[in-house]
Amino acid sequence: MVAVNRQYASDEELLVEVEGLNVLFGRQHVLRDINLVIPRGQTLAVIGESGCGKTVLMKSIIGLVRPTSGKVCFDHRELVRLGDKDLSQLRTRFGFVFQMAALFDSMTIGQNVAFPLKQHTSKSPAEVEKIVLARLAEVGLPPSVVHKKPAELSGGMRKRVGLARALALDPEIILYDEPTTGLDPIMSDVINELILRARKRYPVTSIVVTHDMHTARKVADRVVMLFPASRLRPDEPQMIFDGPPTELDSTADSRVSQFVKGEAGERLMEMHERGEIEVSEPDE
């Protein structure tokens, strides 16, 4: 059984605490009895196959999804006890890098990066412009992109703009939702390097939801793996791995090793037993 791993921090260092978290959508159990603590400054990768609840966990941590039971605390404050105003203010301490960048198509790149600054600060236009240019430079984009629209940029450039926007308010924690999805291997590694640079440049905590094992191994101090609740026995924990990336290859849990290696293994047999696919004998 994977228990709450508190070896990473003292209570004073904890930034995120998830205790006995359960989330149901209708009768579907998406998250089941999740226990997780994340200290300040750590980069945590959350891995697992599609539908295992990774994104729901991330949304629970920022209060966009309310627990069916259990609790989520940020900086020792339980999110469900906060009013809308306090919760909105707390979210300014977060930065978000969405899967497809989620830029505003009608705005220029400069306006996109400036958006959180204009929404949540009283900085002058000159101060905002200075910050926008600085954040774009940090992700390797020249001043010439400021007046372009998102449609004029490549997918990799849009991802970098998303990171620049996430850094605009100097957040304490950045959440990355599949940051390398849809990118070629080289651009994926550019994004990985930028995640590492952000951690070195700022005292930031990071949560990276990803299927990309290269990303998990390269950027994370710690990896947790979730397994779909619908395929667990009643007594099984949903978090089936919690440890440093270096331990992924030595785990005894075949579900973890098969995911890490990208092997169908037992999953193929499960699908066959449910009648979802036919398994043919190999040609002799």
Q: Give every residue of the chain whose pLDDT is below 50, as ranges.
A: 1-6, 284
At residue 38, what is the residue type? I
- The per-residue pLDDT for 2 is 38
* 241-256 per-residue burial string, b: 16 or more CB within 10 A, e: under 16: bbbebeebeeeeeebb
pLDDT per residue over 212-269, tens digit each? 999 999 999 999 999 999 898 888 899 999 999 999 989 889 899 999 988 766 655 5
Domains and CATH numbers, the chain: 1-86+175-276 (3.40.50.300), 94-170 (no CATH)
pLDDT value at residue 271: 53
pTM of the shown model? 0.85
Q: Give the list of residues 6+ apart from residue 72 with CB closer than 8 angstroms, or none.
A: 16, 17, 18, 19, 21, 60, 61, 63, 78, 79, 80
